[in-house]
């Protein structure tokens, strides 16, 4: 039995949090962004030292742990952003730092054989000699878990393991987690996807604003109950109602190919939210980049308002009336180290110039207008975008796209990494925009979001369109079947 207890009186990041984890349980840790989940696991893994409080591990009390001590004790962390030796083999990664080998010289064959044995425990057939950088994210996670097994880990912490892997891979990961549990390993599981907790977890602990809220048995609660704990209030409807779209066709793609997608045709109506479903790698983002001009098409046509367009770069895509809110907010959407007003004006900066010189007043006024329109919560607009919450950053990215006055907006993963509370805001905005006559293409990996927000759905599988669903036919099962290419 383990009882890890910690408190931090007076410190905001974690305020007097005590949670106990039992041997062989899968214990989920949930909370909105900034709730203190990462800080909490970092104290366990030894990455940071708690201000006060104690950690009790197998009856022994520690005031803090160093990373080395944590590893010695058998605590392993699978971080969201995997930290691995990318240019080294799978086997090398698994055995890195373990001095069990008899001789100074590494026996490659022996090492690979041992690695294969460990991997077999996960029903995995990853080649131990393969280089880590060539593997999928799901396989790389398995390597991290294998590493933990080799080190006889007693506690495995997984930080959002399913954020970037496909449905099938998720199923396999759940198997692996159950496997660990059967071996009496404690799994601390952090996730934003509440549905999956009900599938694999025993107990859930909720953090909010650095404070411990509660620990409940997963069978004693439901999704709504968890959300209530997380946000501290009732969210009545996650998906706001929207006026139905018109029938006027704004964008029409015919037999579009290139950038990994093939022969895709669809129509987008004015004021419509058209969802794109599919697994990671199905070609949804790639298709959006084709439309926007961020990638080259090889054949097919795109018509906007009946006129054929063929943007060769994003600049031309914007001129054609398309705006993109990219999937990776931090690297593709925001200029994170730049002020908010700067971010908002960058895509139409030339229009804010008088004979080449930026009109600062006009620039600030535009930023203020969008702050009001999109309800961006910030005291001042000269603050860096990095200081905003995920939801507000996303609003800045939306403002940036809107500043170029597009008719069609592409939302690629509009709420990835955004709190549940803030998501609702983004959904409201999307509906408002659609009702104002903008037409929206939405790519999402969040099934509930797709079903809740879209008026029609297009499903892709390995670069091909495998289905088109109208609202009445929406169901999770149908989408998954089409997305897996089984139908």
The residues of the shown chain that bind another protein, judged by CB under 8 A, are 292, 294, 313-315, 317-318, 324, 326, 331-338, 342, 346-347, 349-350, 352-353, 356-358, 400, 404
Q: In the bound complex, what is the minimum distance in angstroms from residue 332's beta carbon to another protein?
A: 5
Tell me the Ramachandran region of residue 17: left when phi exceeds 0, alpha when psi lies from -120 to 50, beta otherwise.
Answer: beta
Q: Quick one: CA dihedral 295, 298, 302, 308, positive or negative?
A: positive
Instruction: Give whichever of 132 and 294 is closer to another protein, judged by the CB atom.
Output: 294
Q: In the bound complex, what is the minimum distance in angstroms from residue 301's beta carbon to another protein?
A: 22
Instruction: Give whichever of 310 and 349 is closer to another protein, judged by the CB atom.
Output: 349
Instruction: Give whichever of 412 and 446 is closer to another protein, judged by the CB atom.
Output: 412
Instruction: Give whichever of 223 and 338 is closer to another protein, judged by the CB atom.
Output: 338
Mapped onto helix, strand or coil, the DSSP state of residue 40 is helix
Cα–Cα distance between 20 and 13 in angstroms, integer? 19
Angle between helices 108-120 and 137-150 in degrees, nearest 10: 100
Instruction: Give whichever of 275 and 406 is closer to another protein, judged by the CB atom.
Output: 406
Cα–Cα distance between 267 and 245 in angstroms, integer? 13
Instruction: Give whichever of 271 and 333 is closer to another protein, judged by the CB atom.
Output: 333
Instruction: Give whichever of 226 and 403 is closer to another protein, judged by the CB atom.
Output: 403
Instruction: Give whichever of 105 and 350 is closer to another protein, judged by the CB atom.
Output: 350
Q: In the bound complex, what is the minimum distance in angstroms from residue 335's beta carbon to another protein?
A: 5
Q: In the bound complex, what is the minimum distance in angstroms from residue 343's beta carbon to another protein?
A: 9
Closest by alpha carbon to 154, among 36, 21, 38? 21
Q: In the bound complex, what is the minimum distance in angstroms from residue 47's beta carbon to another protein?
A: 16
Q: In the bound complex, what is the minimum distance in angstroms from residue 229's beta carbon to another protein?
A: 28
Determine how many CB atoms are found less than 10 A away from the CB of residue 368.
Answer: 14
Question: Which pair of structure tokens corresponds to residue 288?
Answer: 């959006």
Burial bucket for residue 267 (CB in 10 Å: 0-12, 13-18, 19+): middle
Closest by alpha carbon to 158, among 12, 37, 60? 37
Instruction: Give whichever of 205 and 343 is closer to another protein, judged by the CB atom.
Output: 343
Question: Which pair of structure tokens corresponds to residue 475?
Answer: 């169901």
CA distances from residue 289 to 174, 178, 286, 311, 442 in whole angstroms, order as listed: 33, 39, 5, 10, 13
Q: In the bound complex, what is the minimum distance in angstroms from residue 211's beta carbon to another protein?
A: 20
Instruction: Give whichever of 96 and 353 is closer to another protein, judged by the CB atom.
Output: 353
Determine how many CB atoms are found less than 10 A away from the CB of residue 49.
Answer: 11
Question: Which pair of structure tokens corresponds to residue 122?
Answer: 């996960």
Sheet strands (E) in 38-185: 55-57, 60-62, 75-78, 155-159
Q: In the bound complex, what is the minimum distance in angstroms from residue 352's beta carbon to another protein?
A: 7
Cα–Cα distance between 381 and 390 in angstroms, integer? 16
Tell me the Ramachandran region of residue 127: left when phi exceeds 0, alpha when psi lies from -120 to 50, beta otherwise.
Answer: beta
Q: In the bound complex, what is the minimum distance in angstroms from residue 326's beta carbon to another protein?
A: 5
Question: Which pair of structure tokens corresponds to residue 141?
Answer: 């996670």
Q: In the bound complex, what is the minimum distance in angstroms from residue 347's beta carbon to another protein?
A: 4
Q: In the bound complex, what is the minimum distance in angstroms from residue 302's beta carbon to another protein?
A: 17
- 80: which DSSP letter? S
Question: For the chain, what is the radius of gyration of the CA atoms?
Answer: 25
Instruction: Give whichever of 227 and 367 is closer to another protein, judged by the CB atom.
Output: 367
- The β-bridge relationship of strands 322-325 and 408-412 is parallel
Instruction: List helix spans (H) across 258-373.
Output: 284-292, 314-319, 340-345, 360-373
Closest by alpha carbon to 395, among 432, 352, 350? 432
Q: In the bound complex, what is the minimum distance in angstroms from residue 333's beta carbon to another protein?
A: 6
Instruction: Give whichever of 126 and 318 is closer to another protein, judged by the CB atom.
Output: 318
Cα–Cα distance between 418 and 325 in angstroms, integer? 14
Instruction: Give whichever of 54 and 389 is closer to another protein, judged by the CB atom.
Output: 389
Determine how many CB atoms are found less than 10 A away from the CB of residue 429.
Answer: 20
Q: In the bound complex, what is the minimum distance in angstroms from residue 230's beta carbon to another protein?
A: 25
- Phi and psi, residue 350, nearest 5°: -65, -30
């Amino acid at each position: 039995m383990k009882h890890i207890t910690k408190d931090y009186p007076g410190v905001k990041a974690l305020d007097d949090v005590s949670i106990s984890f039992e041997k062989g349980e899968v214990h989920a840790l949930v909370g909105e962004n900034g709730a203190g989940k990462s800080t909490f696991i970092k104290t366990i893994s030894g990455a940071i030292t708690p201000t006060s409080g104690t950690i009790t591990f197998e009856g022994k009390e520690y005031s803090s742990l160093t990373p080395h001590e944590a590893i010695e004790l058998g605590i392993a962390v699978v971080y969201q952003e995997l930290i691995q030796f990318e240019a080294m083999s799978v086997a090398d990664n698994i055995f890195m730092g373990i001095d069990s080998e008899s001789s100074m010289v590494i026996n490659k064959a022996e090492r690979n054989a041992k690695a294969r044995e460990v991997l077999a425990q996960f029903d995995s057939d990853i080649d131990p000699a393969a280089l880590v950088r060539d593997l999928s994210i799901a396989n790389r996670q398995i390597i991290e878990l294998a590493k933990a097994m080799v080190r006889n880990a007693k506690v495995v912490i997984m930080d959002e393991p399913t954020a970037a892997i496909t449905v099938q891979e998720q199923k396999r990961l759940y198997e692996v987690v159950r496997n660990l549990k059967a071996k009496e390993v404690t799994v601390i599981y952090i996730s934003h996807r509440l549905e999956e907790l009900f599938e694999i977890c025993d107990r859930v602990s909720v953090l909010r604003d650095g404070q411990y809220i509660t620990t409940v048995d997963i069978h004693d609660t439901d999704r709504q109950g968890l959300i209530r704990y997380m946000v501290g209030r009732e969210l009545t409807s996650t998906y706001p109602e929207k006026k139905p779209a018109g029938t006027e066709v704004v964008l029409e793609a015919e037999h579009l190919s290139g950038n990994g997608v093939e022969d895709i045709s669809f129509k987008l109506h004015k004021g419509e939210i058209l969802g794109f479903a599919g697994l990671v790698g199905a070609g949804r983002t790639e298709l959006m980049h084709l439309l926007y001009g961020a990638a080259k098409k090889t054949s097919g046509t795109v018509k906007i308002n009946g006129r054929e367009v063929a943007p060769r770069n994003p600049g031309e895509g914007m001129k054609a009336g398309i705006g993109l809110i990219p999937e990776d907010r931090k690297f593709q959407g925001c200029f994170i180290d730049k002020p908010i007003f700067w971010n908002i004006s960058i895509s139409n900066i030339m229009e804010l110039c008088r004979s080449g010189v930026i009109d600062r007043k006009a620039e600030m006024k535009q930023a203020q207008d969008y702050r009001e329109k999109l309800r961006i919560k910030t005291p001042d607009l000269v603050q860096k975008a990095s200081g905003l919450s995920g939801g507000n950053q996303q609003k800045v990215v939306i403002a940036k796209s809107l500043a170029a006055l597009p008719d069609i907006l592409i939302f690629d993963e509009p709420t990835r990494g955004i709190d549940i509370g803030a998501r609702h805001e983004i959904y409201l905005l999307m509906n408002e925009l659609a009702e104002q006559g903008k037409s929206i293409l939405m790519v999402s990996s969040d099934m509930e979001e797709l079903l809740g927000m879209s008026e029609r759905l297009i499903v892709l599988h390995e670069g091909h369109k495998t289905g088109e669903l109208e609202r009445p036919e929406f169901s999770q099962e149908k989408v998954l079947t089409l997305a897996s290419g089984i139908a």
